Amino acid sequence: MAAFRERAFPTWTRLTSISRRATRKNSDRGRLLQTGTVICGAVGLDTDLSFVYQLFALLVCVLVYSRLSLRFLVPEVSIRRHLPRYATAGEDFEYYISVFNEGERVERDLKVVDNPKVIPPDMEQFQRMREPGEETRNAYDRWLGFHRFVWLQKLNTGISLKTADVPDVDLKSHADATVRATPLRRGPVYFESTTILHPDPLGLNFGTVEFDNRETLTVLPRRYPLSRRFEFQGGRHFQPGGVNSTWSIGESDEFVSLRDYRDGDPIRKIHWASSAKREKPVVKEFQDEFFVRQALVVDSFSQPDDVFEEVISVAASLLTNMENMDGLMDLCLMTSRPEVITAGRGYAQTSQQLEALATMKMTEGTIEDFNELLMERSRLMSGCLFVFGAMDDARTQLIRSVEARGVPTAVFLVQEENVQEENDSHQYPDHYHLLPMPDVGTALSQL
């Protein structure tokens, strides 16, 4: 079975590519005419019994003329794509492609097709993931797996695009075509080219003009609205580095006043200009900084793919909900090693944290790797939020270690339906928020 699918994979990739190109080059009217030509050819095989062969000959001439005319009516145009900086998985959006007329005639009835990079699945992904609703297909389709292959290829490609109509383009002018798109997943989407379709005089077929037009769109994770009743501030906490610690090392640069030198003051604090005027040492005095600084720990360890995607969405929802908080948010995640991305006053923006979540993948590391990082940062934390896709002894111990340092915590646990039923009898503390699939968004809105 596996050997058959490995041999069939290249064939499926070519088959979907041929189907995609063929669909573009024929209009509905043209496909209807081609079907009629085939029927007339079959019925008119015996020319003694029917004159349908004459209609067949006429239709063939029409189709040949349609194809040949496309070679002499190639539009002289150029294009420019206008992508937004970000899109959100599952949310429709629009962008524009400008078509510039560089020829000597008005261009009419053009269409534009954007071409993202098509990424077929590998065998490991094919075996690991299941198409939604696959159980409703017949036994042959489930055995063959072609529908699952097509679904995975669309998911990997990452975006669904519709063909856009181009308004009439006057001489030496341009027109904007509106492309409607739906991102299918988070992460980068790679655009490779853009195709202009131009019709023949009869409107039966389309010729193509291809433009190499490479660009990348970042698709942010899906986000859910949180309940307005949910608040997790944790109180203000002393920050030795102050707000400006991104560009200074040590204490805050929040200057307060000057005062006389005292034994033990560091030399680097001496204000030399004032000391020269007063003929005695004068030092700068700084204000200690107290503000809210929270940490958000995202579970990137072994878990089902659909659960991991919901974990990312919950983390992104929490970041967005706290974006306007008067303080800092540390996003703690695991790639090849533990990493921290901070957003807030004087730091990066929340969009950079969302970008990190958009490209985040499951890691082969262990959750114990987070222990050292969180223990070092616990003295700075006003509170810590955990987003987990499973609960085991290692994750429980991590939470307890942070709580033992006096840091308030909140735990968001995404659960599969079968896991939820098994854990119904388990009593979690009040600061644990259970988010059952597939109603994670509803659960967040009811916190």
Same-domain pairing of 313 and 265: no
For residues 128 and 161, the answer to whether their CB atoms sit within 8 Å is no
Q: Is the bond preceding residue 266 a cis peptide, omega within 30 degrees?
A: no
Same-domain pairing of 33 and 166: yes
Task: Report which DSSP code applies to 270.
Answer: B
pLDDT in tens, 2-54: 566 667 777 887 888 777 777 778 888 888 888 999 898 888 777 777 778 88
Q: How far apart (Å, rounded) are the C-alpha atoms in residues 385 and 444? A: 14
Flag whether 225 is in a domain. no
Q: Which is it for strands 383-388 and 187-199: parallel, antiparallel or unpaired?
A: unpaired
Same-domain pairing of 84 and 37: yes
Mean pLDDT confidence for 229-244: 52
Look at residue 241 in the predicted model and tell me its pLDDT.
44
- Per-residue confidence at 243, pLDDT binned at 50, 70, 90? very low
pLDDT in tens, 184-214: 999 999 999 999 999 999 888 899 999 999 9
Q: How far apart (Å, rounded) are the C-alpha atoms in residues 394 and 297? A: 14
For residues 165 and 111, the answer to whether their CB atoms sit within 8 Å is yes
Mean pLDDT confidence for 108-114: 92
Q: What global pTM score does this model have? A: 0.78
Mean pLDDT confidence for 334-357: 80
Q: Which is it for strands 409-415 and 383-388: parallel, antiparallel or unpaired?
A: parallel
Same-domain pairing of 279 and 324: no
Same-domain pairing of 372 and 398: yes
Adjacent-strand bridge partners of 257: 285
Mean pLDDT confidence for 58-83: 91
Look at residue 257 in the predicted model and tell me its pLDDT.
67
Instruction: Name which of 129, 437, 124, 123 is nearest 305 in CA terms.
Output: 129
User: Which pairs with CB-CB distance under 8 Å and at least 24 residues apart come from 363-366?
Assistant: 363/300, 363/301, 363/334, 363/335, 363/336, 365/301, 365/334, 365/336, 365/337, 366/301, 366/394
Same-domain pairing of 269 and 211: no
Least trusted range by pLDDT, from 32-36, 139-143, 178-182, 415-419 = 415-419
Half-sphere exposure of 227 (CA within 13 A, CB side): 12
Cα angle for residues 154, 159, 162 (degrees, 5° grid): 105
pLDDT in tens, 282-339: 887 655 454 578 889 898 887 888 889 999 999 999 888 876 666 788 888 877 778 8
Record the tokens describing residue 150, joined without a space: 């097509």
Same-domain pairing of 144 and 198: yes
For residues 168 and 106, the answer to whether their CB atoms sit within 8 Å is yes
Flag whether 13 is in a domain. yes
Mean pLDDT confidence for 267-296: 74
Is 80 exceeded by the pLDDT of residue 93?
yes
Flag whether 238 is in a domain. no
- Per-residue confidence at 372, pLDDT binned at 50, 70, 90? confident
Q: How far apart (Å, rounded) are the C-alpha atoms in residues 295 and 325? A: 13
Record the tokens describing residue 194, joined without a space: 């853009």
For residues 446 and 227, the answer to whether their CB atoms sit within 8 Å is yes
Which domain CATH number covers 88?
2.60.40.10
Is 60 exceeded by the pLDDT of residue 420?
no
Look at residue 169 in the predicted model and tell me its pLDDT.
92
- Per-residue confidence at 219, pLDDT binned at 50, 70, 90? very high
Is 60 exceeded by the pLDDT of residue 1?
no
Look at residue 292 in the predicted model and tell me its pLDDT.
76
Record the tokens describing residue 184, joined without a space: 């299918």
Chain-centroid distance of CA 319 in Å reads 15
Flag whether 6 is in a domain. yes
Same-domain pairing of 324 and 358: yes
In one letter, which amino acid is 102? E
Look at residue 247 in the predicted model and tell me its pLDDT.
34
Q: Among 268, 287, 306, give the residue marking a domain's end.
A: 287
- Per-residue confidence at 264, pLDDT binned at 50, 70, 90? low
- Per-residue confidence at 242, pLDDT binned at 50, 70, 90? very low
Q: Angle 350-358/305-321 helices, nearest 10 degrees?
A: 180
- Per-residue confidence at 426, pLDDT binned at 50, 70, 90? low
Look at residue 248 in the predicted model and tell me its pLDDT.
35
For residues 388 and 252, the answer to whether their CB atoms sit within 8 Å is no
Is 90 exceeded by the pLDDT of residue 363?
no
Same-domain pairing of 278 and 334: no
Same-domain pairing of 114 and 160: yes
Look at residue 348 in the predicted model and tell me its pLDDT.
65
Q: 92: Cβ–Cβ under 8 A, 6 or more apart, which residues?
A: 180, 181, 182
Flag whether 97 is in a domain. yes
Please identify which residue in the block is written with the tokens 């807030």. 344
Flag whether 403 is in a domain. yes
Q: 344: Cβ–Cβ under 8 A, 6 or more apart, which residues?
A: 293, 325, 327, 328, 329
Among 36-45, 91-100, 122-131, 252-261, top mean pLDDT goes to 91-100
Same-domain pairing of 368 and 413: yes
Flag whether 429 is in a domain. yes
Task: Report which DSSP code applies to 107.
Answer: B
- For residue 375, what are the domain limits? 291-445
In one letter, which amino acid is 77? V
Flag whether 229 is in a domain. no
Please count the other Cβ atoms lying within 10 Å of the Cβ belonging to residue 163: 16
Is 90 exceeded by the pLDDT of residue 160?
yes
How many domains, in total, are found in the chain?
3
Same-domain pairing of 283 and 318: no
Pairwise pLDDT comparison (171 vs 446), residue with the higher score: 171
Which domain CATH number covers 296?
3.40.50.410
Look at residue 249 in the predicted model and tell me its pLDDT.
31
Mean pLDDT of all residues belonging to the chain:
82
Q: How far apart (Å, rounded) are the C-alpha atoms in residues 159 and 217? A: 10
